[in-house]
Each structure stands twice: as structure tokens, then as C-alpha cells.
């Protein structure tokens, strides 16, 4: 293989690894509210992925984190589709990048542009729906298109008005957060009650809004700041500054710590002022958001697939601390990966006491040259798991020796291997008890088979007394078996048996994800299950057949084929079949699919404006999307059709100036009715 081909191969593998990592981290952050890496770590990995994709745009797939607005949804609440997407925000990490953003905007829309600078609140994004001034629904951001209905919990926030002072009908966006003093008091109460304290106010706020019992949500004493809205003909400010005025006049809470700036010098001065006073604020912020102030300019600049081109978030530098490495723990994951963690002298970092920090892999250990008793710098940017970022070599003792890298598994003693192209050490013993525990814990987890009440400790107990050896054994457990477990009475055993029984009817994608096949995340499992519709078809699929799915690349296809080539995998699936586990997806409506493929609207970008007689705007949007259209909130050169009802506003004028095709309601209805015949 030539050097260029080998370099491309390694870079392609790195791209696939980054996509898998970032999707998993995003799931943990947005869905579980249990982040496992810092914001800065995530941003670095995200930027590395963007760099590779910019160099090789032909490698970009729809499952890449760079191609999506957001990430996965939590379960337990009804889904709610937003009237317009809740976009992510592009990031800037230094003033040069902020200056480049301002220069680009000014070049595109002219010198008559100003910028609204706002604090970036570290909380949970929310979407509030008001109809004629009444609060009717509240939702999380979710994946940007669809969120979770948390209306009952949001109603407990006293600063959220249930009735506005004006009869506004629109969606208002903002951030729910927990004040610092409330957070401190809450953790003191949890300490006294013997409960685990929350890692930071953001996690406490997010957890509060996902409580099933609204009384528990009320006990969190959350607050809100609101800063955006879905504009319509009855609510259309001319600027971000005017929006804030309108929100306040309607009785909605906004953050007064904001400023309209005219140039980069004023923006930089605002950022420095806010950062200097950051620790004194009663709430947590992690940066400053800079938005084009004029709405007309915002609409002219438009959006990428995931971020507005008219806004950017300047991220503050992560807090760092110095401490000493006492030891290194080596732990075994479900795929046999050995992960090193530094054990350190306790130190204060970003409001918490830190004693452990991730070292990720042996390559990082060698790159940093981390050794026992080294003085190191760590950071975490308000996250749960800190990271070692550097070693203070000048403070190292002369007798120091390089860290000893293990050659055998710390759990089962088997020899460790490092596969070509991987940074990880692996235990390849399929009977390793640590792997079996991690694999089974993954299988029963919420996004896999979701067996409620079966946690890692109970699985560990089952393994210890040989009740189970693999995941299939779970479905053959009896009441007598479960009563052998520590602290298990008949009532709890019966609940667990019911939960196991209920999991048998789960969707095929949950089972496929739960098997723990390397590189097969939840998104990949969904794509594959929807295409092949049965486990037998998936097991028989070739790499080429798998790779016809948009979003499934060689790494995933090879992993799936290799997994099902093993006789042990066939035995496991057969035992699950015999236990009555669902192995098929319901068939799609082939007629509807054929109609979609022939649809006039497929992949057309459509904008709705004005009032319609037959359908409300959300109803019309849903119909168009059902036929494959992309419905956006603003007119641009990429807009294919503007559908204008009565009293159409500025979008109509903008469409005319851009020579976008304009339809009235009658034309729209004619095409829809023709498509439904």
C-alpha cells in the first residue's frame, strides 16, 4: 500500500472513530444528563472531525455529528414537534475567531450591522408555546426538531408566566437553570440525606425538568432566561434588542446583562467585562453569545444544516488546577478496552473536589509522559470527569520512572492485545468477568432492552453465583433463582421478572444495539433494523448490502458481519429466539413509501407564510414533511417554493426579490389533493 493510501486509510478510520465517540458522548450528555467528557474535550474532537470532513467531503455521511442539529431524545415524555428548528450554535474559542465572524457578516450584509452580546447560560434549552397569550405547552430542545413535553414541570417555575400581558401566539425559547445558591443548598440537603450530590447546576436543572413528579421539579427552584422566539405576522420584532423589549413587555423574563455592540472592539470589551465578573454572577455561564442584531440581516444570512450563520458562541477557557498523581487505575469495558484513570490528591476544580481524571489511553500517557508522583494540570470545564492536560516536568523527581503499562488484564489475567490502527489495549478473553458484567449492563440499559430494576450490582451478584453467563440466561431466570440474590424479596423479584418479560416485545433496533456489537451505536442499529426488518436478514447481510444504507460505512459493516460469523453469536440469537424475544420490525407501509419516492415535494425546500383557511401552519408543515419536503422558517436562495396565505409579510417580499417561486393556498391544496388521490 502506498504511503498516501495508507494515510487516507488511517484518516478514514480516525473519522469513523470520531463519529462513534462523539455520538456516544452526545447521547450521554443530552439524553442521560451524565456527561463523561468535558465540553472542551468534546469541542476538540468535534473540530478534528470537521477538519477531516473538510479535507474529504466525499466521506461525509448523515450519521456524522456535524450533519445533525442535535442529538438523541430521552424517553418517558411525549414527543413534541417544534414550529421551527431549535438550532445549535457555532463556537469560537478566541477573539480571532470572533473577529473573523464579524468580518464575514459585515462583508455579506454591509456595514450597517450591529451585534447583540448576551451571556451564554449554562442550563437546559426550553421551548415555550403560547396561544393568544396563554402558556399551553413547554418542551425540551430534544434533537432540534422534536423535543419532550415537560409542560407540568415547567409550570412549577415561578418566573414563567402562565398568562402573558399580550395575546401573543408563538414559541418562545430560552434556558432553564438553577441558581448557584439553590444548587449549594440542594447538595447540602442531599449530603444530609445520604444521597449523591449533583455534579453541577446544569445537571441538577436538567434532572429537575425530567422528573415524573412535578412536586420534585418544584423543589429544584429553577429559573429561566428567555432570548429568542419563532417570528410570525403577529410577533415580528425588527431586531434582537427589540425582541428583548417585546418579551419583557409581554411579562417574560430576560437577562439584563446584555449589550448592543457596533464593532469588534466593543464586543471584545463586553466579553472581558463578563468574564471578569463571571464568578460573581448568581448563575453559571460558560461563554458569550454574539448575534447579528437586525432581523433582516439574520434572515439574509440564513442557516447551515445545524447552526445560524448570524450567531456564534464565544466559549470561555476551561478552569485548570494542579495536583499530584498517586496511582493509575486500569478498568475493563464491555468490549475489552482497558481504560486508564489517574488517581490524584484531592483538589478543588470548577466548584467540586476532584480525585480522579481520565487518561483515555496509553498513547496519551506516552504523549504526556505521565508518571506516578508527577505534578499535573487538570481541567474539566464544569464537567463530571476531569482530564489530565499536561505534566509539570520541571517539578518531577529525578528518580521518576515511566509508568508501567500492563501486559495482562487486571480482572482475568489474560494477555492484552493492541490491534492495528487502534489506540486501545484490549482483553480478548470472552469469559473475562469484567467484560461480561459490562456487556450485560449494556444489554439491559435504557436505550437497549430497558430492563428496569436490573442494575450493575445485581448483575454482578448474578454472575458471582453463576445464575447467568450471558444475556440470554436472563430470560430463563425463575422466582427461585432471583430469591438467591442478596437483599431480594419476593415482591422485588416479581417486578424484575415482569420487567424481563416486558422487554421481549421491544423493537428490533433495541436488541441489535443491546448485543453490543463494536461500532454499532443506537443510530446505526435503527438504520439497519429499519432496512432489513428482521434479525435473520441482518445476520445474512453482506458488507456491500449493509453499506448501501446511508450512514453505514465499512467499519460498521465489517463489525456486524464479523460478529455474526461467530458460532457463539448464532447460539446466543437462537436462545433468545427460543425465549420469545421479538426478532422483527413491523413492515413499513410500502404504498406510502412508494408515494414518497414519487412525491413532487421530495427534497424541495419550502417556506410557509401568512394565514391559510384549510390548515394551520403547523398542520401544513406536517403534511409537506410527510411528502418529503424540507420546511424552513426563512427565505433564501435555496428556497424552492414560498406558499403564501393571507396577510403574507416580509417573507413574500423577500421571495419576490430572490425570484423564488410563489404559490397561493389554492395551488398548494391542488398539489396535496392530487398526491393523496
CATH dotted code for 508-578? 1.10.150.20
CA 297 to chain centre: 29
Number of Cβ within a 10 Å radius of residue 381: 24
Domain 3-67 matching CATH 1.10.287.610: the answer reads: yes
pLDDT in tens, 626-641: 777 888 777 888 889 9
Q: Which of 148, 157, 172 is nearest to 214 (CA)?
A: 157
The alpha carbon torsion through 333, 337, 338, 344 (nearest 10 deg) reads -60
User: 3-state DSSP call for residue 667?
Assistant: helix
Q: Who's near 414: CB < 8 A, 6+ residues apart?
A: 408, 427, 428, 429, 432
Strands (E), 424-527: 425-427
How far is the C-alpha of 172 from the C-alpha of 156, rounded, in Å? 17
Q: Closest Cα partner for 223 from 153, 265, 175?
A: 175
β 115-121/170-177 pair status: unpaired
On whether the CB atoms of residues 181 and 220 are closer than 8 A, the answer is: no
Coil vs helix vs strand at 292: strand
Look at domain 593-676 and name its CATH class. Answer: alpha beta
Return the exposure string of 293-304: e unless at least 16 CB atoms fall within 10 Å of the residue's CB, then b.
bbbebbbbbbbe
Instruction: Kindly compute the dihedral angle of the four CA atoms of residues 231, 234, 240, 246, in this order, to the nearest 10 degrees.
Output: -130
* Domain residue ranges in the chain: 3-67, 79-309, 318-429, 433-505, 508-578, 593-676
| 484-512 confidence digits (pLDDT tens) | 988 888 998 999 999 999 999 999 999 99
Domain at 433-505: CATH architecture: Orthogonal Bundle (1.10)
> 57 phi and psi, to 5 degrees?
-60, -20
Same topology between domain 433-505 and domain 508-578? yes
Q: What number of H helices and E strands is found in the chain?
A: 25, 22
CB of 521 closer than 8 Å to CB of 24 = yes
Question: How far is it, in rounded angstroms, from Cα 100 to Cα 110?
Answer: 15
**Residues 250 and 277: beta-carbon distance below 8 Å:** no
Q: Which residues of the chain have pLDDT under 50?
A: 27, 30-33, 68-74, 191-194, 381-384, 588-592, 594-595, 675-677
Q: Report residue 460 CA to chain centroid gap.
A: 30
CB-based contacts of 136-141 (< 8 A; 24+ apart in sequence): 137/80, 139/80, 139/82, 140/74, 140/77, 140/209, 141/70, 141/86
CA separation (Å) from 475 to 462, 482, 572, 579, 601? 13, 12, 12, 6, 47
Contacts of residue 332, defined as CB under 8 A and 6 or more positions apart, other chains included, come to: 338, 339, 409, 410, 411, 427, 432, 434, 435, 438
**CATH top-level class for 318-429?**
mainly beta
Give the class (CATH, top level) of 79-309.
Answer: alpha beta
Query: Dihedral sign, CA of 560, 561, 564, 566?
Result: negative
pLDDT of residue 535: 94
Q: Residue 642 — φ and ψ, nearest 5°? A: -105, 125
Q: Which of 34, 79, 120, 272 is catalytic?
A: 120
Q: Catalytic annotation on 120? A: yes
Provide the pLDDT for residue 194.
45
Amino acid at each position: 500500500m502506498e504511503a498516501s493510501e495508507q494515510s487516507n486509510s488511517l484518516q478514514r478510520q480516525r473519522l469513523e472513530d470520531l463519529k462513534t465517540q462523539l455520538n456516544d458522548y452526545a447521547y450521554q450528555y443530552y439524553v442521560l444528563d451524565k456527561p463523561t467528557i468535558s465540553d472542551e474535550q468534546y469541542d476538540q474532537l468535534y473540530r478534528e472531525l470537521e477538519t477531516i470532513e473538510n479535507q474529504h467531503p466525499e466521506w461525509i455521511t448523515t450519521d456524522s455529528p456535524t450533519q445533525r442539529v442535535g442529538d438523541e431524545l430521552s424517553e418517558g415524555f411525549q414527543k413534541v414537534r417544534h414550529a421551527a428548528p431549535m438550532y445549535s450554535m457555532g463556537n469560537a474559542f478566541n477573539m480571532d475567531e470572533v473577529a473573523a465572524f464579524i468580518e464575514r457578516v459585515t462583508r455579506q450584509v454591509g456595514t450597517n450591522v450591529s451585534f447583540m452580546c448576551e451571556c451564554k447560560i449554562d442550563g437546559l434549552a426550553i421551548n415555550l408555546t403560547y396561544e393568544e397569550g396563554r402558556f399551553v405547552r413547554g418542551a425540551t430542545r430534544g434533537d432540534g426538531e422534536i423535543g419532550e413535553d415537560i409542560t407540568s414541570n415547567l409550570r412549577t417555575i415561578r418566573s414563567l408566566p402562565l398568562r402573558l400581558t399580550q395575546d401573543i401566539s408563538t414559541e418562545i425559547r430560552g434556558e432553564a437553570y438553577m441558581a448557584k445558591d439553590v444548587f449549594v443548598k440542594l447538595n447540602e440537603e442531599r449530603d444530609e440525606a445520604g444521597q449523591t450530590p449533583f455534579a453541577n447546576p446544569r445537571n441538577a436543572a436538567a434532572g429537575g425538568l425530567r422528573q415524573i413528579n412535578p412536586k420534585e421539579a418544584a423543589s429544584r427552584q429553577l429559573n429561566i432566561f428567555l432570548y429568542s422566539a419563532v417570528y410570525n405576522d403577529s410577533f415580528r420584532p425588527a431586531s434582537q434588542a427589540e425582541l428583548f423589549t417585546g418579551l419583557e413587555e409581554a411579562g417574560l423574563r430576560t437577562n439584563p446583562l446584555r449589550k448592543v455592540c457596533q464593532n469588534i472592539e466593543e464586543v471584545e470589551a463586553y466579553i472581558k467585562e463578563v468574564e471578569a465578573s463571571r464568578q460573581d454572577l448568581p448563575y453559571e455561564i460558560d461563554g458569550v453569545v454574539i448575534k447579528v442584531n437586525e432581523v433582516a440581516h439574520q434572515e439574509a444570512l440564513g442557516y447551515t444544516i445545524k447552526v445560524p450563520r448570524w450567531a456564534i458562541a464565544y466559549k470561555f477557557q476551561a478552569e485548570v488546577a494542579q495536583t499530584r498523581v498517586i496511582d493509575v487505575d486500569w478498568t475493563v469495558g464491555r468490549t475489552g478496552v482497558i481504560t486508564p484513570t489517574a488517581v490524584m490528591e484531592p483538589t478543588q476544580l470548577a466548584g467540586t473536589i476532584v480525585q480522579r481524571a481520565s487518561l483515555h489511553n496509553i498513547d496519551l500517557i506516552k504523549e504526556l509522559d505521565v508518571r506516578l508522583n508527577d505534578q499535573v494540570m487538570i481541567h474539566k470545564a464544569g464537567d463530571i470527569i476531569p482530564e489530565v492536560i499536561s505534566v509539570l516536568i520541571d517539578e518531577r523527581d529525578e528518580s521518576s520512572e515511566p509508568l508501567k503499562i500492563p501486559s495482562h488484564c487486571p480482572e482475568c489475567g489474560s494477555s492484552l492485545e493492541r490491534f492495528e490502527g487502534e489506540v486501545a489495549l484490549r482483553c480478548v478473553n470472552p469469559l473475562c468477568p469484567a467484560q461480561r458484567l459490562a456487556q450485560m449492563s449494556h444489554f439491559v440499559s435504557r436505550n437497549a432492552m430497558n430492563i428496569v430494576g436490573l442494575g450493575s450490582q445485581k448483575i454482578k451478584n448474578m454472575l458471582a453465583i453463576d445464575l447467568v453467563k450471558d444475556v440470554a440466561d436472563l430470560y430463563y431466570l425463575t422466582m427461585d433463582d432471583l430469591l438467591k440474590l442478596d437483599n431480594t424479596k419476593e415482591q422485588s423479584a416479581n417486578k424484575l421478572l415482569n420487567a424481563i418479560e416486558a422487554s421481549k416485545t421491544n423493537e428490533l433496533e433495541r436488541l441489535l444495539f443491546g448485543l453490543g456489537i463494536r461500532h454499532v451505536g443506537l443510530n446505526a442499529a435503527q438504520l439497519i433494523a429499519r432496512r432489513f426488518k428482521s434479525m435473520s436478514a441482518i445476520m445474512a447481510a453482506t458488507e456491500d448490502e449493509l453499506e448501501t444504507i446511508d450512514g453505514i460505512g465499512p467499519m460498521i459493516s465489517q463489525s456486524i458481519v464479523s460478529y455474526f460469523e461467530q458460532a457463539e453469536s448464532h447460539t446466543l440469537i437462537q436462545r433468545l429466539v427460543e425465549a420469545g424475544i421479538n426478532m422483527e420490525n413491523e413492515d413499513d407501509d410500502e404504498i406510502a413509501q412508494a408515494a414518497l419516492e414519487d412525491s413532487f415535494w421530495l427534497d424541495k425546500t419550502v417556506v410557509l407564510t401568512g394565514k391559510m383557511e384549510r390548515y394551520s401552519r403547523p398542520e401544513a408543515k406536517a403534511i409537506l414533511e410527510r411528502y418529503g419536503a424540507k420546511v424552513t422558517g426563512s427565505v433564501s436562495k435555496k428556497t424552492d417554493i414560498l406558499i403564501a396565505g393571507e396577510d403574507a409579510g416580509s417573507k413574500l417580499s423577500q421571495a419576490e426579490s430572490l425570484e423564488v417561486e410563489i404559490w397561493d393556498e389554492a395551488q398548494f391544496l391542488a398539489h396535496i389533493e392530487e398526491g393523496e388521490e
